[in-house]
Chains A and B, each alone.
Chain A
Amino acid sequence: METTIEVAGLRKRFGPTVALDGMTFTVSPGQVTGFIGPNGAGKSTTMRVILGLDAPDAGHALIGGRPYASLRDPLTQVGALLDAAALQPSRTGRNHLLWLAHSQGLGARLVDEVIALAGLQTAARRKAGGYSLGMRQRLPPALMFDEPFNGMDPEGIVWMRGFLASLAAEGRAVLVSSHLMSELQDSAGHVVIVGRGKVIADTSVADLLASVSGNRVMLRTAAGTQAAAVLERAGATVAVTGPDALVISGLPAERVVALLSERSVPFAEVTAHRATLEQAYLELTKDAVEYQSGGPARLAGRAAS
Chain B
Amino acid sequence: MNTITPSRSAAPPARAGFAHLLHAEWTKFRTVRGWVIAVIVAVLVTVLLGLFQGSHSHVAPCTTGPNGPACHYVIPAGPGGESVTDTFYFVHRPLAGDGTITVRVTSLTEVAESSQTLNGRPVSTKPAVVPWSKAGLIITAGSGQGSAYAAVLVTGSHGTRMQWNYTGDTAGLAGRVSAASPRWLRLTRAGDVITGYDSAGGTSWTKIGAVTLPGLAPTVQAGLFATSPGYAQQTSQQITSASGTAAPTDATATFGRVGMHGGWPGSSWTGTSVHGGPDSPYVTGHEAGYRQAGSAFTVTGSGDIAPDVTDGVPIDVLLAGLFIALITVLVVGAQFMTAEYRPGLIRVTLAASPRRGRALAAKAIVLGAVTFAAGLAGAAAAVLIGIPLLRASGNPVYPATALTEVRVIAGTAALAAVFAVLALALGAILRHGAGAVTVVITAVILPYLLTAAIPVLPAGAADWVLRVTPAAGFAIRQVIPAYPQVAASYTPSSDYFPLAPWAGFAVSCAWAALALALAAHFLRRRDA
Which residues from chain A sit less than 8 Å from chain B, CB to CB? Answer: 1-2, 30, 48, 51-55, 68-77, 80, 82-83, 85-92, 95-96, 98-100, 102-106, 134, 136-141, 169-172
Interface presence of B204 (CB below 8 A): no
Contact B32 A88 (CB under 8 A): yes
Instruction: Identify which of B14, B26, B31, B350 contacts A91 (C-beta below 8 A).
Output: B31
> Would you call B352 and A75 a contact (CB within 8 A)?
yes
Question: Contact between A105 and B354 (Cβ–Cβ < 8 Å)?
Answer: no
User: Given that A51-B351, A88-B345 are contacting pairs, would A72 and B14 also be in contact in the complex, using a CB cutoff of 8 Å?
Assistant: yes
B8 touches A73 (CB 8 A): yes
Which one of B9, B14, B348 lies within 8 Å of A100 (CB-CB)? Answer: B348
> What are some 13 contacts across the A-B interface (CB < 8 A)?
A1-B4, A51-B350, A55-B527, A70-B354, A72-B17, A74-B351, A89-B343, A96-B31, A102-B26, A104-B20, A105-B8, A105-B12, A137-B4
Residues of A within 8 A of B21 (CB): 103
Partner of A92, one of B8, B12, B25, B31: B31
B33 on interface, CB distance cutoff 8 Å: yes
Contact A171 B2 (CB under 8 A): yes
List the A side residues contacting B402 at CB < 8 Å.
none
In the assembly, what is the distance between CA of A206 and CA of B345, in Å?
38
Contact A87 B347 (CB under 8 A): no
The CA of A71 and the CA of B24, in the complex, are separated in Å by 18
Size of the B side of the interface (Cβ < 8 Å), in residues, is 42
Give the one of A30, A48, A136 with max B CB within 10 A. A48
Please, which residues of chain B bring their CB within 8 A of the CB of A95? 27, 31
Residues of B within 8 A of A55 (CB): 527
CB distance from B10 to the nearest CB of A (A): 10
Distance, CA A70 to CA B355, complexed state (A): 8
A30: which of B1, B23, B349, B350 is its contact (CB, 8 Å)? B1
Q: At the interface, yes or no: B6 with Cβ under 8 Å from chain A?
A: yes
Give 14 new A-B contacts, CB below 8 A, not counting A76-B8, A105-B17, A106-B8: A51-B350, A51-B354, A53-B347, A53-B350, A77-B6, A83-B343, A85-B343, A85-B344, A86-B343, A86-B347, A99-B25, A104-B8, A136-B4, A137-B7
B9 CB contacts on chain A under 8 angstroms: 1
Task: Report if B5 contacts A (CB, 8 A).
Answer: yes
Whether B4 and A139, one on each chain, are in contact in the complex, defined by CB atoms closer than 8 angstroms, is yes
Q: Are B1 and A170 in contact (CB under 8 A)?
A: yes
Q: Do the beta carbons of A105 and B20 come within 8 Å of each other?
A: yes
Q: Does B34 contact A (CB under 8 A)?
A: yes
Report B235 CB to chain A, min CB distance, Å.
54
Which residues of B does A touch, CB under 8 Å? 1-9, 11-12, 14, 16-17, 20-21, 23-28, 31-34, 339, 342-345, 347-355, 527-528
A137 near B347 (CB under 8 angstroms)?
A: no
Q: Looking at chain A's contact residues, is the secondary structure mostly helix, strand, loop, or mixed? A: loop
Name the residue in B4, B28, B343, B527 with the highest tally of chain A Cβ atoms < 10 Å from its Cβ. B4
Which 10 residue pairs of A and B lie closest in terms of their CB atoms, listed nearest first?
A103-B24, A95-B31, A72-B11, A99-B27, A69-B354, A53-B528, A54-B527, A86-B344, A103-B352, A102-B24
Contacts of A87 in B (CB 8 A): 343, 345
Nearest CB in chain A: distance from B58 CB, A: 41
Query: In the complex, what distance in Å separates the CA atom of A88 from the CA atom of B31?
Result: 10
Q: Give the Cβ gap from A170 to chain B, nearest Cβ, in Å.
A: 5
CB distance from B303 to the nearest CB of A (A): 62
With both beta carbons as reference points, the residue of chain B lying nearest to A70 in the complex is identified as B354
Is B5's CB under 8 angstroms from A1's CB?
A: yes
Whether A88 contacts B1 by the Cβ 8 Å rule is no
Most buried by A among B27, B343, B345: B27
Nearest-Cβ distance from residue B412 to partner chain A, whole angstroms: 29
Q: How far is the CA of A90 from the CA of B34 in the complex (A)?
A: 8
Pick the contact of A171: B4, B11, B14 (CB < 8 A).
Answer: B4
User: Could you tell me the distance between the alpha carbons of A91 and B527 in the complex, rounded to whole angstroms?
Assistant: 25
**Known pairs A72-B11, A72-B14, A137-B6; A102 contacts B527 (CB<8 A):** no
Using CB atoms, name the residue of chain A closest to B355: A69
Interchain CA distance A269-B350 in the complex, whole Å = 59
Residues of chain A with a CB closer than 8 A to B342's CB: 88
Q: Are B12 and A72 closer than 8 Å at their CB atoms? A: yes
Shortest beta-carbon distance, A171 to chain B, in Å? 5
Choice from A54, A104, A136 contacting B352 with Cβ under 8 Å: A104
Q: How far is the CB of A108 from chain B (nearest CB, A)?
A: 9
Query: Which of B2, B8, B17, B343 gathers most chain A CB within 10 Å?
Result: B8
Give the docked Cα–Cα distance between A21 and B26 (Å).
40
In the bound assembly, the distance between CA atoms of A199 and B496 in angstroms comes to 68
The CA-CA distance from A88 to B342 in the complex, in Å, is 8
B23 touches A172 (CB 8 A): no
The answer to whether B4 touches A53, judged by C-beta atoms less than 8 angstroms apart, is no
The docked-state distance in angstroms from the alpha carbon of A72 to that of B15 is 11
A73→B11 contact, CB < 8 A? yes
B residues within 8 A CB of A82?
344, 347-348, 351
Bound complex: CA of A1 vs CA of B350, how far in Å?
A: 24
Determine which of B3, B17, B353 lies in contact with A2 in the assembled complex, contact meaning CB atoms within 8 Å. B3
Which residue of the partner chain, among B7, B25, B347, B527, contacts A83 with CB atoms under 8 Å? B347
Known: A90-B33, A169-B1, A171-B1. A99 touches B354 (CB 8 A): no
Residues of B contacting A104 with CB < 8 Å? 8, 20, 352
**CB <8 Å contact, B528 and A54:** yes
Q: Is the CB of A99 within 8 A of B24?
A: yes
- In whole angstroms, what is the CA distance A102 to B25 when docked? 9
Q: Are B24 and A170 in contact (CB-based, < 8 A)?
A: no
Chain B residues contacting A140 (CB-CB under 8 Å) are 6
